Amino acid sequence: MRNICIIFLFFHTDGLLYPYGPSIDNVTPKSDDGVSPPIPFTVPYFGENYSSIYVNNNGLLSFDVELGNSSVLHLTNATVGPFLAPFWADINNEILGEVYYRLSNDSELLNLTRNDISSYFPGVSFSPKWVLVATWDKVSYNHNQTNKTNTFQTVLSTDENSTFIMFNYGDIQWPTGKENEGPPALAGGSGGFTELKFEIPGSLTADIINITHTSNVNFPGRWVFRVDQVKVLLQQW
């Protein structure tokens, strides 16, 4: 009998989401407020160099420390370490969904990322050494009684001098992390215990559910920023 190998790869039909799935990615634990092990690589962010990243189930990446906190705050009030959040909310993948991630220097992924960044930042010469792809696939919110799910993704790329972050929003069906409780999700980033921060329009309001239709690069559902230095981030607003 011939052995049959089935490979799972997931693609978004309009090219919005980068490839992901169990055949190429790791997964975070099935746990409310769970987090990946530390992923070691050098990442310049907001003027500092960090040596590792955590993929947190609640919709964010954190630098050097895990951040399982499900309490979403406006960044003016946030007292947590540095993070990048495509969709920070009270996600619970014990109910539904998977959180996939991989750190890769695969040439096809590097070329895809370089070409995308070059198209959005035509004046910048960038050849990434590493790309971290984290995908929250059909994830549920805590106490979900409706089976609504969200799919979104972060693509972080760096040459260890410059760092770019891409937020991709495939399908957003719920805005708030608990049934009729708490604020809607936050999309943005923070340098930690500083005044360095940014929020995507619609964050922490009901309008966040429309993020699949907004963009800063003329590609609905995609937001892209250079985040290695404060001054270059400020120039993008």
Helix boundaries (H) for 50-183 = 107-120
pLDDT attached to residue 234: 54
Checking if the pLDDT of 74 tops 80, the result is: no
Task: Tell me the chain's radius of gyration from C-alpha atoms.
Answer: 17
Domain ranges (residues) in the chain: 26-234
pLDDT attached to residue 200: 94
Q: What is the mean pLDDT of residues 57-76?
A: 78
Name residues whose C-beta falls within 8 Å of residue 230's C-beta, 6 or more positions apart in sequence: 46, 47, 191, 196
Question: Lowest-confidence range among 48-62, 120-134, 165-179?
Answer: 165-179
Q: pLDDT tier at 233 (50, 70, 90 boundaries)?
A: low
pLDDT attached to residue 67: 80
pTM reported for the whole predicted model: 0.90
Tens digits of residue pLDDT in 11-38: 444 689 999 999 999 999 998 889 999 9
Q: What is the mean pLDDT of residues 70-95?
A: 78
Instruction: Tell me the pLDDT of the chain averaged across its residues.
Output: 87
To 5 degrees, how large is the angle CA 29–CA 156–CA 211? 85
Return the number of other C-beta atoms located less than 10 Å from residue 2's C-beta. Answer: 3
Dig out the tokens for 67 from the structure.
Answer: 């951040």
State the Cα–Cα distance between residues 176 and 208, nearest whole angstrom.
Answer: 9
To 5 degrees, how large is the angle CA 173–CA 174–CA 178? 155
